[in-house]
Structure formats: structure tokens, C-alpha cells
Structure 1
Amino acid sequence: MSQSIEERLFTIRYKADDKSHLVIEDQLVCATCTDKPCNFFCPSDVYLWHDQERMTSVAYESCIECGTCRLACPYYNIEWVYPKGGYGITYKYG
């Protein structure tokens, strides 16, 4: 049986910092990007485009720290760093 992303994310523990370790550097770049690849390349659905606000939101609390976003954005518009000490992801199974 296939699990949803939410069910898979339940198998990890994440201690979120108050400050995001993922930053969209320029929302205007996102607004002019036609295919919005960040909405598709992140395995934990961190990025979401909002048509009315014309911006991409970042749910950094769900980030699994794979680093895909820093490589896959064709405009290099996402700043990605590891969360500071004591914060971030802990895997329950492996």
C-alpha cells in the first residue's frame, strides 16, 4: 500500500527553529518563473505557490534537509543552510 507524504513524514522527528533555514531570495523571480519547479522537486512539499499573493511560501518545518532545492531551482533563488545546532531532522528508522 502506498503512503502519503504526510504519513512518511510522520516517521521522522523534526525540531523546528524559530527562523527558517530556507529563504526565497527574491519573490519577483518566483512570480516570473512560468513552470514553478520548486512546487514539484521537493520530496516533502515544502514549497507552495500562491496565485492571489503571487508568492511562494516555505514550510521549512517539513524540510528533510536533502538539499534538492538549492540545486534544482533554475534561478538559484533558494538559500539553503543546515539548521543551527540542536534543530532539524532526526530519523526514527535509520
Structure 2
Amino acid sequence: MGSSKGYNQLGEAFLVKRVNIDEKIGATKFFVDEEYAHLKIKSLEVCEKCSSKPCLNFCPAGVYRFSEGKIVISYQACLECGSCRVGCPFKNILWDYPRGGFGVSYKFG
């Protein structure tokens, strides 16, 4: 089942091109809202006490990084997947939809 080969209604083989995540991200357009960050840390103290810092790993866009003893967010690269809404064990990340006209536009849906 791991093959990319499929069959049409007549039973004839056809190939399905698989698109990897790098190709999808490369086709993504970002409309950055420089006036409003839709991602925020609720409390830096909570992040300081967090020993595992899962936010450094669960974000596919690598939006979260640890710098000079604190978590820094590069919200401009956010893919709006919502993983940070459920990934932080302390629910310390405030995620909001970008304002109208801003955010991510996916070519491949």
C-alpha cells in the first residue's frame, strides 16, 4: 500500500505524484501583518519554568526558538496549523487567527 501507483475505473495503472512538505511550503504565500502578532506568550515566567520546552519541537515552521534565556516567537513564519494551541502543556501560547487579508495562502490547499 506504500506505493504511489493507483488504478483508474478501468483498472489501468496511473501514477500519483506525491508532493512533499518542502514543495508545499515553497508554494505557500505569506501575507504578514506587521502591526498585529497573532501568536503571543501569555507569561514568560511559565516558559522559564518549563523544563521540556516542547514548543521548540512541535512547530513545523520553527516559529519558536530559545534565545538569551527566553522563548522568542517569529510569528511571521507561522503556517497556521494550530499545533501550538494544543502542544503547550501549560496552554501558555495565545493563538489567534490573523486579521482579514493577512496570513497564509496555500497553493495546494
Partner of 2:69: 54
Q: Paired residues, what number?
A: 89
In the TM superposition, what is the alpha-carbon distance from 1:10 to its structure 2 partner? 2.4
Partner of 1:39: 56
Answer yes or no: is the 8 Å Cα contact 1:9–1:44 preserved in 2.
Answer: no
Structure 2, gaps ≥5 residues long: 1-19
TM-score by length of 1: 0.85
In the TM superposition, what is the alpha-carbon distance from 1:92 to its structure 2 partner? 1.8
Partner of 1:10: 26
Determine helix, strand or coil for the equivalent of 1:69: helix
- Measure the CA separation in 1 of the matches of 2:44 and 2:30: 26
Partner of 1:92: 107
Partner of 1:25: 42
In the TM superposition, what is the alpha-carbon distance from 1:54 to its structure 2 partner? 1.5
Structure 1, gaps ≥5 residues long: none
- Measure the CA separation in 2 of the matches of 1:40 and 1:8: 20
- Measure the CA separation in 2 of the matches of 1:60 and 1:11: 18
Identity of aligned pairs, percent? 42
Considering Cα pairs closer than 8 Å and 6+ residues apart, tell me whether 1 or 2 has the greater RCO: 1
Answer yes or no: is the 8 Å Cα contact 2:24–2:107 preserved in 1.
Answer: no
Query: Quick one: which amino acid aligns to residue 52 of structure 2?
Result: D
Answer yes or no: is the 8 Å Cα contact 1:9–1:62 preserved in 2.
Answer: no
